[in-house]
Structure 1
């Protein structure tokens, strides 16, 4: 059916205005909820016209083109696909959701969302439940704002701390990152909302992301970034994968038949659909044949809407088979059936503010990392009566990252510190209204707590000299589409910290950063807390940790290198907002290959400032009686863990495999478990290694293979300092 005449136009308006399914009828057997998603899809596809099929293959920018009106039927989001009311097909309303459901400009009066802590904060919890609850919070709030697709599930590895988008991701390790993001996806989809998994693949730097090519070998790719995606798929079962902007070995991510068709859809048997990133499509038939199923907002972000007229002509001429078109539509419909878009359409409902706050604060409390605590300066003792808080706009709020993931409207309002540059894309710079100053005052009403803005280091030092303890808050803003020029704290904050520490030997530094930074003042500062971007309850969470109301249990998901000299690419031309050199268009990841982060440090004999997995507690823990059993690809370690301190707390038992010569990586995280214990409590825990972390990927045989030999299992609190070791004999095994 083609809508050409006046009556057809009226019908089209009705279709757009009625985006959600109205229930089953005898003439719509695909609405029978007793049928499986595959059968429902088959029945529905058989009733669709060619025009209706093509309608499913491209989304519109849900905020309107060039500031114009919203597409009819859109609720205001990153992507909108009109529904087909004739067939009961609901509209697709896609919202950005890296660290919470974005609400672009408050399209619907009164709407807001929970600004969640950043991805490294969630990863630092080493707690899959934290990730699941955070995902469920975002999914629930999306559903309550009439979104049925969330553009979350960010699992790109941190290969460089200067990557401007690290705050959306889950660290450097494929096992930890895959588990954390997989659980977040699973949480989102528990709320009848489809989650993406992105950015597929190797979108690990932002500089010239629409043009640069990543160079990396097949084996190294599979043993690093692709393994993280594979684990996230196995755990989270995302409904959609989003292909990336960049090229991989010279081929655009959204035109990459090897990555999309062979690896994702054939070898991993991914049943969902692949959507493009916004501005990531460069062709019609080429992209469709390579495995792309849906173009995102091409009328705004791409050179043309490739999946409209160009793809129609390709199908009509036989360049793209009708079977491929039907497969594209089927993947989308099946995903919508499977995740409740038809049967549990979202409804505009009030957001549960307290539930969102609870999820955000628990993430801050478990995900902030106590990196240093000499002399047990923390938690702040009751005898500490004069406290000065310095810098970081800590009197107003906590900083967040920029770009499409920015949650601009929260229950507490918008920006606590407006006017910080840049104020345009990828800004504005946002400080979420959660004041560490006010939160600490609430926790310590007996203390005199003052604030100094830190703009004048000398004045800050004078204030610090009069206090029992000085707390310096340092911030580093980063954003999508641009990388940081270096690892240095901006705005002369290093000088501020040094001046304060010289004036008061009891100085605590709280970092709110995208990732690791240089710490030239570290020897002067007895206590250091990494709070990442802590979200809408950041102030409250930080105060709870500093006062000991909560015992820190976060562990680093990244290696904290001393400076850029310890990176695989110490100098990268063209980074930052105003680069002094032309930017590169080739990122040679073959330099490190699969040796990302702590593996690179081990391979090169580097000693970082803080090792991957490092983190302190206000308690202490002992490990005894490590035992390991091996049966084929099943390697299981068990150990007694005891809390030897005076406080209840949690420790993260980390299991590493040290590999003999001849393997691509010298050491790998193979399993972990976070255990909560009361003072004096002992528990025996069991950690089963992820089989693929024991194996090497064979790109010729397309298999993961464990090579026979003597390996060393290391149990520790970080990647560099094993507590107990056991030699194990592994046999030649193919992972099934």
Structure 2
């Protein structure tokens, strides 16, 4: 049967209008509130649901398929083992993706997630984590990208673009200023509009422009005292007003607090209604419409936005079908290539790395490296077949495991090294570990730091046992490499005693092979830090953390002890490296930092400021003996110090030995500007500016000064 919306030449908006007019009120409200599509207690799986984050029934008479939603940015999950035996490719953590500084890789890995979601029957992927890493101890930082709004926005946008290229809608989340998990349902992130526009909101704005996501998900938190899911400033004024966002806004699961207020503030869908105190967008919202508190036109707008996004990505013309036709080997190789580009070499004294092949005895220690690589916990945790599952955390009534994904660094090291013997010890028995370490030509020690949704890291240190182990091994064998598998920055009290340190993040389905490739030189490391590593927590804007015992982190639970306000105006828009610059502190490792096995030289930096913007060019040469990739980083700041240097452009450049290339970059104007609350506009002040080409934040490889004319632009 041919539907009216199938006429040739219709836009996504026109098609959505046709379907909305044909829908009954029952059909409309069936899409505005739905339970989590995972059995909780005695609740059955909704009829027709695959088993995932959410399900909304189709409308067969109109040719509209059901909405099947799955988590998350790092791959297609099966939370609570809801689909037993389901396999999926695990991408590396978003921090590793951002460390590649490679938008093309973000798009390619996004397309991988979209392909697997589509093949499993999903048409909405709850991906696109775009929160800034304001709190380095945040439990979900591994799902986010960086502390910088430009890097975050571009990488999130390209990832979303890749997912949606496969006829699968992607969200961006968690909108906005959602930096911590401790007390996440009672914490209010407080800061001025200008600071928000220049940092967290700018990241989402760029992500929306680049990726055009079909849906936006607010977080559990409050912003300036208003729940993000019913914050009219965020949803109506900024998102749907200034940015003219055409898609729909879905709540996080169990993060809806009202019917009429939330609907009028801009929330379109109540997700995970069975986790809330009631199904607000069912009978309560219907009653609000009947009373005239919410106009019928608002209900139609909610549904139209959903349909518009589904039509825009082709999710209705190309309904997702469960066919399972997935080339997991090809996807695993792409995940490996991603990890190879995002692993960061932090230290390499006396060129210890790459390790020579053919050693007699190599000892691998710790972090279940004999089995696999660590993954973050919670709703984003991907569990490929063969994963090692250890006790984790109770997450919204679902027991979620601490997962080691099946990519064994031990076996990859055996394959790469050509060594006579490569042995493994867990590191649990210190005396036995030291005995083995003394006999080894080199020791490769894996250290882990597990993070998960629903709980923050308590401090930035590795466990005492691991720090003791590293210090003790370094004392008996100076040929020591430490490989970090962490969900964010950590402190390294033993850094002076260890000659080589690698940050591998959570490296995903190809992580073991990627790590071994870097260790033995098949891969020239090119990752750059997307977050600063503080020397200590005393350097942070908020050294003291919220006491987890004083809050509740469960959605849908009554608030215990009232709302907790966190004053993020302390740092304002100066998040991460900008905070270090403003306060004159030196971090352990700065944003943008990363070493290579080759060297690069830079020359001929030039900058021009025209009406259309600021453009810079320079010559980059690989002056070493190995092929490698450099990340060009351009920072800008006014010479009068009105604001500290900000990343305004970047580009990953791959060069053969001796190869020379001219690099041309256009600076992002909103980074040069400041937000003016009174004018409600971006304002670039006339004056002289320093344009700096650096190897990382704070480095000055080359610099030039330019005069920029005054400019004002809004929406």
Q: Calculate the TM-score normalised by the size of structure 2.
A: 0.96
1:312 corresponds to: 286
1:590 corresponds to: 569
Corresponding position: 1:104 with 2:79: yes
Contact 2:409 2:512 in 1 (8 A): yes
Aligned residue for 1:639, secondary structure, equals strand
Which of 619, 634, 649 is the matching residue for 1:640?
A: 619
Contact 1:426 1:481 in 2 (8 A): no
* Larger mean Cα displacement after TM superposition, 80-89 or 137-146: 80-89
1:694 corresponds to: 672
* Deviations 1:599-637 (CA, angstroms, capped at 9, x unpaired): 000000000111100000111000010111111351111
1:183 corresponds to: 158
Corresponding position: 1:343 with 2:317: yes
Structure 2, gaps ≥5 residues long: 553-559
Q: Per the alignment, do residues 567 and 33 of structure 1 end up closer, same or farther by CA in structure 2, a change over 3 Å counting?
A: farther
Which of 397, 400, 404 is the matching residue for 2:372?
A: 397
Aligned residues: 704
Q: Per the alignment, do residues 573 and 729 of structure 1 end up closer, same or farther by CA in structure 2, a change over 3 Å counting?
A: same
Q: Per the alignment, do residues 531 and 492 of structure 1 end up closer, same or farther by CA in structure 2, a change over 3 Å counting?
A: same
2:555 corresponds to: none
Q: Distance in 2 between matches of 1:98 and 1:491?
A: 31
* Deviations 1:694-730 (CA, angstroms, capped at 9, x unpaired): 1001122221111011110000110111100000111
Corresponding position: 1:419 with 2:390: yes
2:557 corresponds to: none
1:18 corresponds to: none
Spell out the pairing of 1:171-570 with structure 2 (5 A cutoff).
171-298=146-273, 300-349=274-323, 350-382=325-357, 384-408=359-383, 410=384, 413-416=385-388, 418-422=389-393, 427-490=400-463, 492-570=465-543
* Deviations 1:344-369 (CA, angstroms, capped at 9, x unpaired): 00121222102210221011100110
1:710 corresponds to: 688
Q: Distance in 2 between matches of 1:583 and 1:495?
A: 40
Aligned residue for 1:276, secondary structure, equals coil
Q: Per the alignment, do residues 108 and 610 of structure 1 end up closer, same or farther by CA in structure 2, a change over 3 Å counting?
A: closer
Contact 1:388 1:464 in 2 (8 A): yes
2:103 corresponds to: 128
RMSD: 1.8
* Larger mean Cα displacement after TM superposition, 238-247 or 38-47: 38-47
Q: Per the alignment, do residues 378 and 595 of structure 1 end up closer, same or farther by CA in structure 2, a change over 3 Å counting?
A: same
Contact 2:356 2:417 in 1 (8 A): no
Contact 2:359 2:417 in 1 (8 A): no
Q: State the shift of 1:423 in Å.
A: 7.5
Q: State the shift of 1:383 in Å.
A: 5.6
Spell out the pairing of 1:653-732 with structure 2 (5 A cutoff).
653-661=632-640, 663=642, 665-732=643-710
* Larger mean Cα displacement after TM superposition, 624-633 or 230-239: 624-633
Q: State the shift of 1:329 in Å.
A: 1.1
Q: Distance in 2 between matches of 1:599 and 1:500?
A: 36
Aligned residue for 1:626, secondary structure, equals strand
Q: State the shift of 1:110 in Å.
A: 4.9
Aligned residue for 1:428, secondary structure, equals strand
Which of 124, 134, 138 is the matching residue for 1:159?
A: 134
Contact 1:691 1:735 in 2 (8 A): no
1:148 corresponds to: 123
Aligned residue for 2:79, secondary structure, equals coil
Q: Per the alignment, do residues 415 and 111 of structure 1 end up closer, same or farther by CA in structure 2, a change over 3 Å counting?
A: closer
Q: State the shift of 1:461 in Å.
A: 2.1
Q: Distance in 1 between matches of 2:551 and 2:565?
A: 19
1:614 corresponds to: 593
Q: Distance in 1 between matches of 2:101 and 2:120?
A: 30
Which of 21, 24, 28 is the matching residue for 1:53?
A: 28
* Deviations 1:8-48 (CA, angstroms, capped at 9, x unpaired): xxxxxxxxxxxxxxxx51xx211225311111112112112
Q: Distance in 2 between matches of 1:421 and 1:96?
A: 18
1:3 corresponds to: none
Q: Distance in 1 between matches of 2:588 and 2:365?
A: 24
* Larger mean Cα displacement after TM superposition, 95-104 or 538-547: 95-104
Q: Distance in 2 between matches of 1:115 and 1:271?
A: 31
* Larger mean Cα displacement after TM superposition, 448-457 or 619-628: 448-457
Aligned residue for 2:608, secondary structure, equals strand
Q: Distance in 2 between matches of 1:323 and 1:204?
A: 35
Q: Distance in 1 between matches of 2:37 and 2:192?
A: 38
Q: Per the alignment, do residues 324 and 583 of structure 1 end up closer, same or farther by CA in structure 2, a change over 3 Å counting?
A: closer
Q: Distance in 1 between matches of 2:81 and 2:89?
A: 14
Aligned residue for 1:254, secondary structure, equals helix
Aligned residue for 2:440, secondary structure, equals coil
Q: Per the alignment, do residues 576 and 694 of structure 1 end up closer, same or farther by CA in structure 2, a change over 3 Å counting?
A: farther
Contact 1:482 1:576 in 2 (8 A): no
Q: State the shift of 1:445 in Å.
A: 2.9
* Deviations 1:208-245 (CA, angstroms, capped at 9, x unpaired): 11111111011000101000000000000000000111
Q: Distance in 2 between matches of 1:423 and 1:284?
A: 29
1:73 corresponds to: 48
1:16 corresponds to: none
Q: Per the alignment, do residues 499 and 541 of structure 1 end up closer, same or farther by CA in structure 2, a change over 3 Å counting?
A: same
1:649 corresponds to: 628
Contact 1:92 1:148 in 2 (8 A): yes
Q: Distance in 1 between matches of 2:394 and 2:359?
A: 39
Aligned residue for 1:370, secondary structure, equals strand
Aligned residue for 1:719, secondary structure, equals coil
Contact 1:553 1:615 in 2 (8 A): yes
Contact 2:183 2:548 in 1 (8 A): no
Q: Distance in 2 between matches of 1:471 and 1:582?
A: 47
Q: State the shift of 1:421 in Å.
A: 4.9
2:604 corresponds to: 625
Contact 1:427 1:479 in 2 (8 A): no
Corresponding position: 1:733 with 2:711: yes
Contact 1:208 1:583 in 2 (8 A): no
* Deviations 1:167-192 (CA, angstroms, capped at 9, x unpaired): 00001000001011100000000000
Q: Distance in 1 between matches of 2:661 and 2:410?
A: 38
Q: Per the alignment, do residues 680 and 577 of structure 1 end up closer, same or farther by CA in structure 2, a change over 3 Å counting?
A: farther
Q: Distance in 1 between matches of 2:607 and 2:420?
A: 51
Contact 2:343 2:527 in 1 (8 A): yes
Task: Spell out structure 1 runs of 4+ moving beyond 6 A.
Answer: 576-579, 581-584
Q: Per the alignment, do residues 432 and 577 of structure 1 end up closer, same or farther by CA in structure 2, a change over 3 Å counting?
A: farther
Q: State the shift of 1:446 in Å.
A: 3.5
Q: Per the alignment, do residues 574 and 35 of structure 1 end up closer, same or farther by CA in structure 2, a change over 3 Å counting?
A: same
Q: State the shift of 1:592 in Å.
A: 0.3
